[in-house]
Chains A and B, each alone.
Chain A
């Protein structure tokens, strides 16, 4: 949720009006809004604990800054001058560095900042520290700056702030002149501004979790009491990490340096031609190190586990992609790793089993139930219950008790964020249709989430219809399932009339799960995302077409999205744009392809 800062406060009345904001700013630099340290201390005393007190300085020396930090006391410092990295490093509280941004060169400067947050402002006219003119948001579209570090200021008011939030998705918005009349702050305007931003965050919950871990009616924390503490600790740890620039920087640096992001959005010329409909683009998660999107999440969670002081990891895996991603990260970060995998999946994904072992993970075969993903999750949960003190459960999809579905979505959202930026670069507009396959739902939610508020973009999730949704051998949870609780969340399940969870069936091990993440169930419930199902046979046919037309052998899971895309494309025109998330490459499925597609070669 975007935070609000009200800046340049001088009167008790206005400070009180700003109590509902997340931060207030006191200006110590020359300005008509300047206050003394003593004045600021008196005003700050009127505020609730939870509101950040930010001191604004322009080229002040360290002694002056430290004095204000101590006396007010300030919880953050905002710098508007030409302060050096050395000065910033000497400040004991979090630092916001402000930049006037007129052009791409200015954006470059801001990308270099070592401060915890960067504040983007319209160029100053009278005084440094803010001008009151609105800023050209599009300049930021390509900036290599995490939204979690970004504060947007400059000419904001209740009328335009929503636009600013939508185009930049910042950590915080900062207002000063926008809540003034004739150069003086106004109580009503302050309140209206806060309400507009917070109201906007309510709007955003359309596709997002609320504090208690529910997406609409779905989600929650349905776990045995033994796990409640771990789940709550994780919730807290993630809430902190999510807004910690250092954590985000480290996560993104692994994505770049180790996974090889960003991944291309490839224009599929021959597929476009063959389908005779929309311009088709492929988001290339298959190019990630280890071969699928799963590693985006594995890195994020492993870093979080280390932050929480846990050096043992347990995970489940279906296709083995998540197991391989987890084993890989555990090798890289020197973590102990146990992977539970259904016996049936071990059989069909032998190559991945060997990869995990080679990477030093312990692979535990699960022979219970259907011996597939659902049963592997059960065993991983049991293992977690028994080893909760020193072990993190690194769940592999947007499933499980809160905060897992939110956290996994956030770590996978890099897919959608990159895609959004890339398609704007290539086509200058948003796509018409985006498709992704849905097992538990992590690649799909990561792709969809950054587009959920763009109502013009049609989002289609593709489930596995196995031998057909009219048979009882499928994994089409959203199409055929009913509401229920499994693995910690209220979601949709394949279950019988007595509430016993049924076995799912799909040729693709990664889609072979009888539940689906709670956010997807919510997005279906409110009609924002459509979910369709594709059979084993259709998916196999698409493996052939993508291989032969584009030279890309997709994972079986991803082939489901390709098959549905072909159907969607049939009703689309050449002016339209369609994007498919190719969640992984087909290496792991080669034995299945060799068996099922024999005679082709």
Chain B
């Protein structure tokens, strides 16, 4: 069965958590004891009504404040597909948590409150959706019940958002009017929105085409760990353990080990302890090479027919996620898959303005949640692809060397 990972995004209170609750409720995916607990906890509601947002807002602080602070992951399945949902917070203060949830999503549902239309956080989350190159976007115009299910209101928001989508280069964008609270157009289509001719939200989620989301052409295998039993009978065993991030590897393939540039040939591939002739993304395997070369964690084994770039200087769009400002010239650790190198942010060339979506040249400060274009110099060369071309080998994180916290997400260009 297929697996779709999606996120709900959009501004605070636009109804993301309610939508997830509704989706799970109407698809009968909530267990009775959880439902009973929800009924008890829905103190602010009238008798019998339940606050569906409480299903994902699981932290004490979230329930006290009625907002989402960090991503909640929920799981459900229909006969057609399995789903992993990330319910993101809308509040600007927790944008980095939304980035966390979005980074692994194949689809983003961006909610817009029909009364307020496209607002700053809608744009910010859309920028992140575009930066992270999430392949599919559904714009759900929510709370239609509060605008008398007006087609005009809906159309105007669609026009506004289409502008944003165009500027950001979002590709597969669909629109749907919903009421998360009442369940209109969530699992089933609704009589309240006769003018809407498209499918229900669940329909969209069940049928979005996922096939091309993994690149099978550009073969990339980052070495995570070297298996060397060094026992008597396995004296010469030396296997490179890792997950194929993209592409297909076959026994006999000519490969290059980057960044060093050694060449070799694949002698054997093991998958789950058995030798196989070929393996493909995203399988975790062990690769053996014909030649005895020095390979360790962080090295990238690629096929010779398609190579990534290798450089000690990269340009990247950077989403800054720390309370301390980014200081150009400061050193950070750059981690791309299993590789960590020391690096320095050399230059900040522009900042993206969330309102106009324009570039502001040479910004004076880079603060929490800012999105900037940077040049990063690394202490030793790294092998990478442009993020927009190969998501699994173009995303890197920056780590503060002293606090060890992840402070930045880099989409390498």
A and B co-occur in one complex: no
